[in-house]
Amino acid sequence: MDQKLIDKAAQIIWDCWNTGKTISDLPKDCKPKNKNSAYEIQKRVIEMSQSKQIGWKIAATSENGQNHIGVSGPLAGRLLDHRSRVTGDNLTLGPNIMRVAEAEFCFKLGDDLPIKKSAYTVDEVLSAVDTLHPAIEIPDSRYLNFEAAGEVQLIADNACASWFILGEKTTADWRSIDLREHQVDASVNGVVKEKGVGKNVLGDPRLALTWIANELSQEKIGLKAGEIITTGTCVSPFCIKPGDFIDLDFGQIGEVSVTLS
């Protein structure tokens, strides 16, 4: 895809991020036709933000998540420092058409996972992980009808990224925990709204982590030590609004919370 068209698409998306406006679709001349072009637009949007990239997110790792945004498989996006908070913070939600939150297992890397010709195995990926954290994602889209935007347009728009809240690293021996069956309770204002388990995330959050390492490697992108990777929601996305207190209980792994001021 021509660089001028990449820039044009990225500028449109970035303007929507800044103003809170939405679009129906990207113009035909700069709409990505494949994942490679979509990731190039995504990269350019992040450059325009002038924000530090702190890691990666995976959208649509559960059947519910895929149904929610109308795709058949997961999508990778970038996490930005200026759109990230830590547990216990207050957050002004701002314009947001999705108005949902998600509960996610988040891994922090201690070693690089560089571009690789052959596919990474789960064991190879896990050997690069330093810590595990509970996390909240509050997604959004710059497309008014995001359910019909399609995979490549959603990737270009940073895979429905908006806000991210990181919990403290767990003190539990998480490597010995069966994350597939590990339960998470999502509460809003003290009332449990959703319950889920790790296997809702591509069968296992560790499989989701392996997926993104291989997905990005195919796109000539490596993962770096110090980056955090949040692996997608293990509960059905639940409704939120300004004034809500969101608390996610990951049991022995820990809790993460945020107040929408």
In a domain, 218, yes or no: yes
In a domain, 83, yes or no: yes
What's the predicted TM-score (pTM) here?
A: 0.96
> 176: which residues sit within 8 A by CB, 6+ positions away?
none
In a domain, 224, yes or no: yes
CA 65 from centroid of its chain's CA atoms = 11
In a domain, 156, yes or no: yes
Neighbours of 205 (CB within 10 A): 27
- What CATH number did the domain enclosing 94 receive? 3.90.850.10
pLDDT at 62: 76
pLDDT at 66: 81
pLDDT in tens, the chain (261 residues): 999 999 999 999 999 999 999 999 999 999 999 999 999 999 999 999 999 999 999 999 977 778 777 788 899 999 999 999 999 999 999 999 999 999 999 999 999 999 999 999 999 999 999 999 999 999 999 999 999 999 999 999 999 999 999 999 999 999 999 999 999 999 999 999 999 999 999 999 999 999 999 999 999 999 999 999 999 999 999 999 999 999 999 999 999 999 999
Question: Residue 164: beta bridge partners?
Answer: 84, 137
Number of domains in the chain: 1
| HEC profile of the chain | CCHHHHHHHHHHHHHHHHHCCCECCCCHHHCCCCHHHHHHHHHHHHHHHCCCEEEEEEECCCHHHHHHHCCCCCEEEEEEHHHEEECCCEECCCCCCCCEEEEEEEEEECCCECCCCCCCCHHHHHCCEEEEEEEEEECCCCECCHHHCCHHHHHHCHHHCCEEEECCCCCCCHHHCCCCCCEEEEEECCEEEEEEEHHHCCCCHHHHHHHHHHHHHHCCCCECCCCEEEEEECCCCEECCCCCEEEEECHHHCEEEEEEC
Q: Could you tell me the two tokens for 197?
A: 């388990």
pLDDT at 63: 75
In a domain, 42, yes or no: no
Domain residues for the domain of 70 are 53-260
In a domain, 4, yes or no: no
Q: Could you tell me the two tokens for 94?
A: 């701002």
In a domain, 46, yes or no: no
In a domain, 197, yes or no: yes
